[in-house]
Structure 1
Amino acid sequence: MLGICRFINKAKQSSCSENLLYFGVLLRILLKYVASRRRRPPFFALDRFLEQTAALPDKPFIVFGEETYTYADTDKKSNKIANALQSQPGYEAGVTAALFMGNEPSFLFTWLALAKLGSPVALLNYNIRSKSLLHCFNCCKAKVLIAAAELKEAVEDVLPSLLEQGVTVLLLAKCCDTPGIESFSDKVEEASDAPLPRSLRSHVTLKSPAVYIYTSGTTGLPKAALVNQNRFVSALAVTSSYGVTSKDIMYVNLPLYHTAGFLVGFLGCIQIGSTIVLKRKFSASQFWDDCRKYNVTVVQYIGEVMRYLCCTPKRDNDRDHKVRLAIGNGVRAEVWREFLNRFGNIKVLEFYASTEGNVGFLNYAGKIGAVGRVHFLHQKLFPYILVKYDTERDEPMRDANGLCIEASKGETGLLVSKITDIAPFVGYAQNEEQTEKKKLRNVLKKGDLYFNTGDLMKIDKDNFIYFQDRIGDTFRWKGENVATTEVSDILSMSDCLQEANVYGVHVPKHEGRVGMAAATVKKDAQFDGSKLYEHVVSYLPSYARPRFIRLQSAVEVTATFKQMKVKLVEQGFDPEHIQEPLYILDDCVRSYVPLTAEIYISILSGSIKL
């Protein structure tokens, strides 16, 4: 108690009232987290859902188009799925299962069912196919795959490998004629909706895996970030501080397989007892009409969402809605201002976090462009620092003693956060190499251990912290992180390309950076646009497929054999200034075709959308 009083006295000495406000927010989060940790038997996200169901059985929980499911409906639906699962050969309570489906109520019902059975769940990106799909499935050692009916063909592509491993494959359809894939919806309809005994999940602890969420890093195929039950408990504590109430209606159109849609949207609504309006995918043209139709009061965003909304044609009813709060991350300052000017007095709650990371920020002061503000209590609980970073050598700068050098105020530095009991880094499933790469040792003293966020940040004179850029080989397109080395590896597996240097280039009137590759052709081979197209489509989701290919006689590298990207990024994809052959991905003809001056002009004018 004396320690808390000292913190309060320190905070009072600050002239900034926001610091006192944030102190209260942090204290509430901490107390809620500790209270949840101390509950016996152990208290998990599922238990919070069951509490809400008991308290609010008839309250709408999920609204999906014209369908509405109350908390009690959702509970019974998940019970039916759980009871049907128990009767399936190859499944037993506690084994890991993978969900392969888009945003729909069944996704949420099925996750709750698996939670009731004590099963960890891998949330597969429904855009992935072929080798990438198999890789992601194998990462978490799942024994069961539950897929949406519309993804049947994607499952069939990897079915031989799944059957070879003895995987139980269930399709959310009433019938299925593919040997090895069992229809599941018909079994669910016939199953009992009786509650599941708690004993089925008695083995679950705070350290048990809850979900696997896939993230693209700087190398390799997608990595399965292990999110344990303790992380869920802390997420529930944090989301309770966002200002959302049980009276709110939240619009969730971000993918449920991502952290934002699942943890902030789904689990956030469970924590508060609010209603989810679930959308299959984001639509800028339908966004505000949906908000008006369903009386939405809270929306989620990523930076691209804000910009897409601002790019829609202006309407007289742009401010005719009930949205009061927007929660998300990645919005640029100019887009933030434009959004407020156009759509009205909406509180924008920008935050910074990552799926596997151990540090986060909340822009409680509402400073446009910032992701948060440095606060002594925050830094006490989650020690972090910005260190100087050498972008040429792609590594932190170190002094004569081999320790990292702290970045000065106003200077861009790499954000690293100390790995502690209260701020752990669990790592990636079946990928010790990538887990180790995210650890940074000997930061402030010999032997210490920090998590490397991979993000460059800057702190201004008023202690506001700003995101600057990602380090290494990752860029963002269509709301997804694209790992350039992963794409490069895939391109090099093709019949015609020997080596590929993948990077992102800016395209006017488009958010993020679109993929481009400077590549060399294999000896005695010829560039084949059609074959390369088929190869890329087989291995990469649409957002990761390079839109432009630039053929070179050799890929330029640094003295340490790292591919050079800066000059290539600056040169872009203008055929007037690049003498080497340029190609563009054309879905209509299913090939990479020559990029002409006419096509280039059409892209710049917006006639051709990428």
Structure 2
Amino acid sequence: MLLSLAWVTALLAALLALRVGQKLYFPYFWKDAFFLAKVVRYGARLEASKRRGKVVTVVDTFVRRAAEAPGKTFIIHDGARHTYGDVDARSNRVARVLAERGTLRKGDTVALLMSNEPDFVCVWFGLSKLGCSVAFLNTNVRSRSLLHCFSCCGARTLVVGADLLDTLQDILPNLQEDNISVWAMKEKTPYPGVHTLLDKMEQASDKAVPAELRAATSLRAPTLYIFTSGTTGLPKAAVITHLQALKAAAGFWAYGGTKDDVIYTPLPLYHSAASLIGIGGTIELGATCVLKKKFSASQFWNDCRTYNVTIFQYIGELCRYLCNQPKVRENEKEHKVHMAVGNGLRQDIWREFHQRFGEIRMCELYGSTEGNLCFMNHIGKIGAVGRSNMFYKLLFKYALVKYDMVKDEPVRNKHGFCERVTKGESGLLLSKVSSQSPFFGYAGSKQLSEKKLLNDVFVKGDVYFNTGDLMAEDYEDFISFKDRVGDTFRWKGENVATTEVTEITGLVDFIQEANVYGVEVPGNEGRAGMAAVIVRPDCKFDGKKLFDHVVSDLPTYARPLFIRLQESMEMTGTFKQQKFQLVASGFNPTKIADPLYFLDYTEKRYVPLTASLYENIMDGQRKL
């Protein structure tokens, strides 16, 4: 008896010691294990459906939700509620009109240019029910860049929202010349050759479209094209397969979302965050989405209270705008929001947001539209975009490697291989391409996809996806975002491709050469656009002409806010424009001898950047 008691005591002591050791040296062990087990379980479900030869897509799940609970509110927009049954029926009408009166067939690609509204989802799902792939067009893109989008994804049909039809006026002849069929969400239109959709939908049947039309035979079949700005200039059409769409749709679920949640989505649906994570995630839960046409900081919390929002989507800028809003009520913590999902939240804004609006669980995540890697900060550590651990590293192979900011390329050792950085040091994030982590690339030129890959990284024959992001991993395996490298920077929540901006800026007759980059401005997320330009001989800088050109041909977030006039451009050894020194020197007129100019919307021209104007920008008195 005494011996048995001694064994029990020893066992309890050992278990206690293990527990204490785990808490001291592996404090996140169980949280990591449970979270990853949930993610692996979801992945196993996808794999099982693939092996059965029955791929259950996001639209399949939506149709099932509509059949099970047709009266459940799916989308709330401008105060109007649209049930799962409503959207299902309306998407059927869209499908029938475009199939019977158009020339669409299974496998075709259709471009969609619409603002945030329920019909965006109805058209998207209607086209998917016909077995078509849908290309989401950025509503800020104009003229030449928009025409390029059609050529690279192969779309021969365009569906455009009523409020955006007039923006196509200049290129409608080009679209018609290329035999691209244009359908507008209107009952009538003044533009010859443009088909109207709303009047025909009223006459169409809402009977279910045959399921075999939308049936997917492979998880790796394309279902969407989402355009992303990159280092090659013009927008690139990232291929979104059913596999990627399904993984993104699991985001809210992985963080603990349920069917009772009400999700607030103020981000544009043409981006993957709102469409794949927001709409897809709402469907995965069987929840409700409050879809906002455009983010409004002044209306945000009123909307959350009015619609009993429990989860909202964000980018870092959104939270900063909310913190900058004046206090309009006694207790700003009175709301039902318990979780937020997004990326790009600065540590100082994170803390200020919690202090002002309550301990909302901020679920940061990291991943690009076309990338093959995702990090999720399921612990909630402030400042981290994601979390790695021993389990994660067994499943997903990634590396942080040394990067030469001057040469703008990864460091290679004498053997020609990349070198990993040490813990806590910033490095370029690379993700190994494999059957478990495939890279599906971009539609169009094969070269666009190949440029995102690095070969022979650690051994001969290996291939890694180049994220273009500098990251750091600390001693507790938390991942933090540090900066973007190369020819892309982020401003106002959008990626800005410097090559595209350079090309468009260079079309002005007095500009001989332009070099576009991003500079940091205190109090603002990301980097503001700046262009170093050389004026042609016998020409003068014309601030009015350049202003008119960039406002006409570039979206708001891509317009250079600062101009620097130079006599010559510094080049790298491989004849690339040197940006490192330009970025480092910023836009301080008291330290830069070159003439500087600022984009002034009041004057409607680029005006000289004086010391007083510079101080106003730095103090936040001059809004950007």
TM-score by length of 2: 0.92
CA distance in 2, matches of 1:96, 1:446: 38
CA distance in 1, matches of 2:26, 2:606: 60
For the 8 Å contact 1:397–1:405, the answer to whether it is kept is yes
- Output one character per residue of 1:113-165: Cα deviation in whole Å (capped at 9) or x when no partner: 01101110010000111111111222211011111112122212111111111
For the 8 Å contact 1:90–1:168, the answer to whether it is kept is no
Q: Based on CA coordinates, which of the two structures has the bigger radius of gyration? A: 2
CA distance in 2, matches of 1:576, 1:409: 38
Q: How far apart are residue 207 of structure 1 and its match? A: 2.5
1:183 aligns with 2:206: no
Q: Find the counterpart in structure 1 of residue 422 from structure 2.
A: 408
CA distance in 2, matches of 1:225, 1:181: 28
Count of aligned positions: 600
Letter in 2 for 1:569: V
Letter in 2 for 1:518: A
CA distance in 2, matches of 1:33, 1:338: 40
1:543 aligns with 2:573: no
For the 8 Å contact 2:71–2:84, the answer to whether it is kept is yes
Name which of 272, 275, 281 aligns with 1:262.
275
Q: How far apart are residue 398 of structure 1 and its match? A: 2.0
Pick which of 152-161 and 567-576 moved more.
567-576
Secondary structure in 1 aligned to 2:546?
Answer: helix
1:46 aligns with 2:59: yes
Pick which of 578-587 and 596-605 moved more.
596-605
Name which of 344, 351, 360 aligns with 2:374.
360
- Output one character per residue of 1:24-70: Cα deviation in whole Å (capped at 9) or x when no partner: 23332322332343454321111100111111111000000121001
Q: Percent identity?
A: 51
Counterparts in 2 of 1:506 and 1:399: CA distance versus 1, 3 Å: closer
Q: Find the counterpart in structure 1 of residue 3 from structure 2.
A: none
Counterparts in 2 of 1:413 and 1:598: CA distance versus 1, 3 Å: closer
Q: Find the counterpart in structure 2 of residue 244 from structure 1.
A: 257
TM-score by length of 1: 0.94
Name which of 467, 482, 497 aligns with 2:481.
467
CA distance in 2, matches of 1:121, 1:414: 32
1:121 aligns with 2:130: no
Letter in 2 for 1:175: K
Name which of 514, 518, 536 aligns with 1:504.
518
Secondary structure in 1 aligned to 2:33?
Answer: helix
CA distance in 2, matches of 1:317, 1:36: 48
CA distance in 1, matches of 2:139, 2:60: 28
CA distance in 2, matches of 1:577, 1:41: 64
Q: Find the counterpart in structure 2 of residue 4 from structure 1.
A: none
CA distance in 2, matches of 1:404, 1:556: 27
Gapped regions of structure 2 (runs ≥ 5): 1-21
CA distance in 2, matches of 1:540, 1:356: 23
CA distance in 1, matches of 2:424, 2:137: 39
Q: Find the counterpart in structure 1 of residue 294 from structure 2.
A: 281
Q: Superposition pairs for residues 364-375 of structure 1, below 5 Å?
A: 364-375=378-389
CA distance in 1, matches of 2:65, 2:51: 20
Q: Find the counterpart in structure 2 of residue 5 from structure 1.
A: none
Q: How far apart are residue 488 of structure 1 and its match? A: 1.1
Name which of 571, 578, 602 aligns with 2:585.
571
Q: Find the counterpart in structure 2 of residue 7 from structure 1.
A: none
Letter in 1 for 2:466: N
Q: Find the counterpart in structure 1 of residue 98 from structure 2.
A: 85
CA distance in 2, matches of 1:166, 1:601: 53
CA distance in 1, matches of 2:249, 2:48: 12
Q: Find the counterpart in structure 2 of residue 377 from structure 1.
A: 391
Q: How far apart are residue 575 of structure 1 and its match? A: 3.2
CA distance in 1, matches of 2:619, 2:120: 39
Q: How far apart are residue 239 of structure 1 and its match? A: 4.2
- Output one character per residue of 1:525-545: Cα deviation in whole Å (capped at 9) or x when no partner: 332223322322333211001
Q: Find the counterpart in structure 1 of residue 6 from structure 2.
A: none
CA distance in 2, matches of 1:570, 1:448: 34
Secondary structure in 2 aligned to 1:41?
Answer: coil
Secondary structure in 2 aligned to 1:285?
Answer: coil
- Output one character per residue of 1:7-35: Cα deviation in whole Å (capped at 9) or x when no partner: xxxx9995533332333233323223323
Q: Find the counterpart in structure 2 of residue 418 from structure 1.
A: 432
Q: How far apart are residue 570 of structure 1 and its match? A: 3.5
For the 8 Å contact 2:404–2:411, the answer to whether it is kept is yes
- Structure 1 moving runs of 4+ over 4 Å: 11-15
Counterparts in 2 of 1:221 and 1:122: CA distance versus 1, 3 Å: same
Q: Superposition pairs for residues 63-78 of structure 1, below 5 Å?
A: 63-78=76-91
Q: Find the counterpart in structure 2 of residue 350 from structure 1.
A: 364
For the 8 Å contact 2:55–2:216, the answer to whether it is kept is no
Q: Superposition pairs for residues 174-213 of structure 1, below 5 Å?
A: 174-202=187-215, 205-213=218-226
For the 8 Å contact 2:109–2:155, the answer to whether it is kept is yes
Letter in 1 for 2:184: L
For the 8 Å contact 1:118–1:204, the answer to whether it is kept is no
CA distance in 2, matches of 1:521, 1:63: 52
Secondary structure in 1 aligned to 2:220?
Answer: coil
CA distance in 1, matches of 2:251, 2:264: 19
1:156 aligns with 2:164: no
Letter in 2 for 1:423: S
For the 8 Å contact 1:148–1:171, the answer to whether it is kept is yes
Q: Superposition pairs for residues 28-39 of structure 1, below 5 Å?
A: 28-39=41-52
Q: Find the counterpart in structure 2 of residue 223 from structure 1.
A: 236
CA distance in 2, matches of 1:204, 1:124: 26
CA distance in 2, matches of 1:182, 1:27: 46
Letter in 2 for 1:145: L
CA distance in 2, matches of 1:222, 1:138: 11
Name which of 589, 592, 606 aligns with 1:592.
606
Secondary structure in 1 aligned to 2:234?
Answer: coil
Gapped regions of structure 1 (runs ≥ 5): 1-10
Q: Find the counterpart in structure 2 of residue 165 from structure 1.
A: 178
Counterparts in 2 of 1:524 and 1:372: CA distance versus 1, 3 Å: same
Letter in 2 for 1:262: S
Secondary structure in 2 aligned to 1:276?
Answer: strand
Letter in 2 for 1:26: V
Q: How far apart are residue 396 of structure 1 and its match? A: 1.6
Counterparts in 2 of 1:568 and 1:400: CA distance versus 1, 3 Å: closer
